[in-house]
Amino acid sequence: MEEILNKILIKVVDMDERISLMEENMVTKNELKEAKGEILGDVDNFVKLHTTVDQELTMLRNKYTRLDDKVVLLEQKMVA
pLDDT at residue number 30: 94
- Tell me the C-alpha to C-alpha distance, in Å, between residue 66 and each of 37, 58, 70: 44, 13, 6
Domain count of the chain?
1
* Domain coverage including residue 75: 2-79
Task: Report the predicted TM-score, pTM, of the whole model to 2 decimal places.
Answer: 0.58
Confidence (pLDDT) at 18? 95
The model's confidence at residue 79, banded by pLDDT at 50, 70 and 90, is: confident
**Does residue 80 surpass a pLDDT of 80?**
no
pLDDT at 44: 98
CA 18 to chain centre: 32
